[in-house]
Amino acid sequence: MAVIDLANPTRFLRIVDRVLPWLIGATVFLLAVGLYRALNAPDDYQQGATVKIMFLHVPAAWFGMFGWALMSVAALGTLVWRHPLADVSGKAVAPIGAAFTFICLVTGSLWGRPTWGTYWVWDARLTSMLVLLLLYLGVLALYWTAEDPGRGARAAAILSLVGAVNLPIIKFSVDWWNTLHQPASVFRIGGSTIDPSLLTPLLIMALAFTLLFVALHLAVMRNEILRRRIRSMRLMQAQEVHA
C-alpha cells in the first residue's frame, strides 16, 4: 500500500481502528515497565530522589517540542500540498502538544524548588518553553473560535510555521545564553553524561511517551475526521431542506 493511500480518510480510519488497540496495549505495558524502573532508580549524587521527576519532565519536554514540529510539517501540508489529512493532523496534535508542554513546565517547576531553591526563574530555556505553551494556546484558540473552519485552519497553519522559530531557540537557549537550566545531557556530541542506571529508565519512559503520543494523536485524528463527516452531512441536509 502506498503512503498516499493514507490520504483517504475512510482507509485511514480503518487502519486506525486496527492499529489502535495494539498501540494502547504496548503503551500501557511500556508505561508500567518505565514507571517501575523510574520509581526504583537509584538517587542521583547531586539531585537525590528528585531525579525521579526527570523521568517525566524530560520526555514531556521532548514531546512538547516534537508536537510543534509535527504541527509545522502538517501546516506545510495544509498550505502547500492541501493534503486532506494534514489539517486534521495539525489540529489533532495541538491539544496533545500543549498538554505535554504543560506537564514539562509543572514538573520542571516542582523539580526546581528543591534543587534550585525556586519554582520559576525567567531564564531563556524556561521562558522559551512557556512561550511554546502560549503558542499552543494561540493555535487552539484559532481552531476552536474560527467560524469558518477553513480560515481557522489556514491561520493556525501560518502560526504553526511562524512559531517553529521558537524550537531552535528552546533547544540552543542553554548554549546561547547563560541559563540556570543545565545544558543538554542526553543527546550531545561526546555521548550522554547520565549514568546508565538513570539513563535506561529515562529512555524506557521516553519510548512509553512516544507510544502514548502516537496513540493519542491517532485517536484525536479519528475524532476529528468523524466531526468533519458530521459537519458535511449536516450541510448537505441543510442544502436539501432549502432546495
Partner 1 sequence: MNLGPHADFIVAAYAVTLFVVAALIAWVLLDYSAQRRILGDLEERGVTRRSRRKG
Biggest distance spanned by C-alpha atoms of the chain: 75
Gap between the Cα atoms of 64 and 45, Å rounded: 28
Cβ-based neighbours of 8, under 8 Å, separated by 6 or more: 84
Is residue 174 involved in binding partner 1 (CB under 8 A)? no
3-state secondary structure of 177: coil
Alpha carbon 1 to its chain's center: 28
123 closest CA partner among 167, 173, 161: 173
Identify residue 137 by its one-letter amino acid code.
Answer: L
Exactly one of 56, 61, 198, 206 binds partner 1 (CB under 8 A); that residue is: 56
Q: How far apart are the first and last CA of the chain?
A: 41
Is residue 212 involved in binding partner 1 (CB under 8 A)? yes
**Residue 49 Cβ vs partner 1, minimum distance, rounded to whole Å:** 4
Is residue 61 involved in binding partner 1 (CB under 8 A)? no
**Residue 67 Cβ vs partner 1, minimum distance, rounded to whole Å:** 12
Exactly one of 30, 34, 37, 57 binds partner 1 (CB under 8 A); that residue is: 57
Exactly one of 89, 107, 166, 173 binds partner 1 (CB under 8 A); that residue is: 107
Is residue 211 involved in binding partner 1 (CB under 8 A)? no
**How far lies 84's CA from each of 4, 8, 75, 101, in Å?**
10, 8, 12, 27
Is residue 43 involved in binding partner 1 (CB under 8 A)? yes
* 135 vs 216, beta carbon nearer partner 1: 216
66 closest CA partner among 240, 238, 216: 216
* 49 vs 134, beta carbon nearer partner 1: 49
Are 55 and 38 in contact by the 8 Å Cβ rule? The answer is yes
Q: Candidates 72-80, 125-133, 169-177, 223-231 — which segment interacts with partner 1 by CB under 8 A?
A: 223-231
Is residue 32 involved in binding partner 1 (CB under 8 A)? no
Is residue 165 involved in binding partner 1 (CB under 8 A)? no
* 113 vs 188, beta carbon nearer partner 1: 113
Is residue 223 involved in binding partner 1 (CB under 8 A)? yes
3-state secondary structure of 48: strand
Residues that bind partner 1 (CB under 8 A): 39-40, 43, 48-50, 52-53, 56-57, 60, 95-96, 99, 102-103, 106-107, 110-111, 113-114, 212, 216, 219-220, 222-223, 226-227, 229-230, 232-234, 236-237
